[in-house]
Amino acid sequence: MKWQIGDVTVTKIVELETTGGSRFILPQATPEVIRPISWLIPHFADENGRLKMSIHALLLEASGRRIIVDTCLGNDKKDRRIPTWNERQGRFLEDLAEAGFARETIDTVLCTHLHVDHVGWNTRLVQGRWEPTFPNARYLFGRVEYEHWRTQTERVDMLPVFADSIQPIFARGLADLVEWDHRICPEIELVPSTGHTPGHASVMINSKGARAMITGDFAHHPCQLAHPEWSSTADYDPVTAEATRRRILSALAGEPVLVIGTHFAGPTAGHVLRDGQTYKLQV
Ligand SMILES: [Zn+2]
C-alpha cells in the first residue's frame, strides 16, 4: 500500500494485523459501543464490533532519502508481555526487500517513541548477538523520550526492549538524539504529541502543498476519533494524552491533511472530519 504526498512516497509494510483481542489496550472500546459507530465498519472493526488493528512500518522516500518510521516487533525477541510478541519468526525483512527496501538501503530509522512495537526491528539476532538491522542508517530517537526511559529502571517490562532493541544501536554509534521538532529533510519534520509517552512525536509531511501526518500512538485506533476521551492502557499520562488528541484532531478536522495511522488497519489513512461533538476518519 502506497500514498503519494507531493514528491514524498509513503509505503506501508505490515508485520501483523489482528481482529479482536484489543481489550488490553482500549478497554472502553467494547463491541456494544463500537457496533453503532457505523463508519468504523468494515475497515476498522468487524460487524461484531471487534477492533481491527495493525502493526506496520511506514517507508518514506523523499529528497533521495529512505526513511523507516517505527520498526514494529522484530523476530526472536524475548520477555515480551504479550505472548505472541515473543520469539516471532515473521517475514517482515523479506517483505521489506520485496517491496524494494533492502535493509542496507535505508538511511534513516525514526522511532516515534520507544515502546516495544515501535523499535523491534531496530535490531536482529545474528549468531546470538543483537546487531543493527539497518547498518547504513542513522537511528533517530527523541531526546526527551530516550532520557525518560533510560531512567525508568523499575519498568522491568521495558528493560528487555531497551537492552535488545535500543542499547545495541548506541553501542554501534548509530544513534542520534533529536529534539521533537527535528526536521529530517525539507519535506519531513517531527511534531510533539506527548501523553502516550513523555517524548512522543508524530511526523508531518509537507511537499508541493500536499500534507500528511503519521500519528504514532497519540491515537491507537480510529475509534478514538469518535471518543477522544478514551485513553489506551499504554498511555503514560492519560490526561495529557486526551488533551493532545483533542488538540490535534481539532486542528486536523476538515483540513486537507492525509492522516496515516501507525496502528490503523486496512486502508490505514484518511481525513479527519467533524462528526457532531467529536470526529470521524473518512477513508
Ligand atoms: Zn504502538
d(CA 194, CA 173): 27
Residue 274 backbone zone (phi > 0: left; psi -120 to 50: alpha; other: beta) = beta
* Residue 219: DSSP 8-state: S
- The CA 119 to ligand 1 mean position distance, Å, reads 10
- The CA 70 to ligand 1 mean position distance, Å, reads 9
- The CA 51 to ligand 1 mean position distance, Å, reads 15
- The CA 118 to ligand 1 mean position distance, Å, reads 6
- The CA 59 to ligand 1 mean position distance, Å, reads 17
C-alpha radius of gyration, the chain, whole number: 18
d(CA 68, CA 144): 20
Q: What is the pLDDT of residue 154?
A: 65
- The CA 114 to ligand 1 mean position distance, Å, reads 9
All cell numbers assigned to 146? 530516550
d(CA 136, CA 16): 26
pTM of the model: 0.96
Q: What is the pLDDT of residue 159?
A: 82
- The CA 256 to ligand 1 mean position distance, Å, reads 25
- Give whole-number Cα distances, 225 to 22, 149, 222, 230, 231, in Å: 17, 28, 5, 9, 11
User: In tens digits, what is the pLDDT along the chain, a chain of 283 residues?
Assistant: 999 999 999 999 999 999 998 888 999 999 999 999 999 999 999 999 999 999 999 999 999 999 999 999 999 999 998 999 999 999 999 999 999 999 999 999 999 999 999 999 999 999 999 999 999 999 999 999 999 988 876 666 668 899 999 999 999 999 999 998 999 999 999 999 999 999 999 999 999 999 999 999 999 999 999 999 999 998 899 999 999 999 999 999 999 999 999 999 999 999 999 999 999 999 9
All cell numbers assigned to 127? 549468531
Nearest to 142 by CA among 172, 184, 83: 184
